[in-house]
Structure 1
Amino acid sequence: MVSLEIPAEYGYVLLAATSTFFVGSWLGGRVTSFRKAAKVPYPYEYASYEQVQTASPPASKAMLQFNCAQRAHQNFNENHVSALGAMLIAGLKYPMAAAVLGGVWSVNRVVYAIGYTNGAEGGKGRYYGVLWMLAHYVMIGMAGKAAWDLAMA
């Protein structure tokens, strides 16, 4: 049987993990504000292509920004569980690296979301925050290594 010892630095991993909850809440709030500006009622998740194309230029822009904010939030939701899990697992063996990568992930999710809604054609501003993806996959690799080492101990 393997005993598991939590490293003293694991608190930093937990702080980085907690930062992701604040980012998710912030993203949800942004979607709400963009929804109001675009006048897209609940329960509709996005403004349709037809709505965007037939709206006045200011309304069309507001709808596009809402769609981009919604998509940034959805992308966060799609990746949050695997990033959080990888961060927590990797932190068992590599606490400082996992904490730093988790912080990079959170900060770049904010940059991604702001870039997505900055008005660039097709949300191309999201690429400014693409570093989240590198941090994400490195954490997954580190989690795999930590899990392997634990299983082989």
Structure 2
Amino acid sequence: MTAIVIPSEYGYVLAVAVASTLHLFSIGFKVSGARKAAKVPYPYAYAERSEAEKDPKKNIFNCAQRAHQNSLELFPIFSTLLLVGGLKYPQLSAGAGAFFLLGRMFYVNGYVSGEPSKRMRGIWGMFGIATLLGTSCATVYHLLSN
């Protein structure tokens, strides 16, 4: 039977996990501000396409909303890989997680500019996810092979 020993460096992993939640909150604030500026009432998730094509504020709101939604879609994947990979490779996983979050910041800032193509400025952050996939697979392999 293999015991799981949490290394002291796992604190770095947890710090990145907490930072990722703060990042999600910050995007939520961007959406809220853009919603108010665009005057898109609740419960509507997006401005209509015809409105967004005419009103730059509504377009920015849609872009902010989509950047937030995309981040929420990736969050469970990121969190799982970060927390699993960090059990065996805490420093590498924390570094990869921080790299991913930095890329997400560029992604979100590019998207909320109102020009969706600018989101691609942060696509390099996905190398962090790829690294986390590797550390997670290696951790699982290590646990199952002992």
User: 1:18: Cα distance to partner?
Assistant: 0.8
Superposition TM-score, scaled by structure 2 size: 0.95
The amino acid across from 1:96 in the alignment is Q
Gapped regions of structure 1 (runs ≥ 5): none
Aligned equivalent of 1:65: 60
Aligned equivalent of 1:114: 109
Aligned equivalent of 2:139: 146
Equivalent in 81, 94, 100 of residue 95 of structure 2: 100
2: CA distance, partners of 1:32 / 1:131: 27
SS of 1:130 mapped into structure 2: helix
SS of 1:42 mapped into structure 2: coil
For each residue in 1:64-94, what CA deviation from the matched residue of structure 2 results, as whole angstroms up to 9, or x when unmatched? 1111100100000000011011011101111
Aligned equivalent of 2:20: 20
Aligned equivalent of 2:7: 7
2: CA distance, partners of 1:143 / 1:35: 38
Superposition TM-score, scaled by structure 1 size: 0.91
Aligned equivalent of 1:124: 117
Gapped regions of structure 2 (runs ≥ 5): none
User: 1:41: Cα distance to partner?
Assistant: 0.5
1: CA distance, partners of 2:52 / 2:85: 43
Equivalent in 137, 140, 143 of residue 130 of structure 2: 137
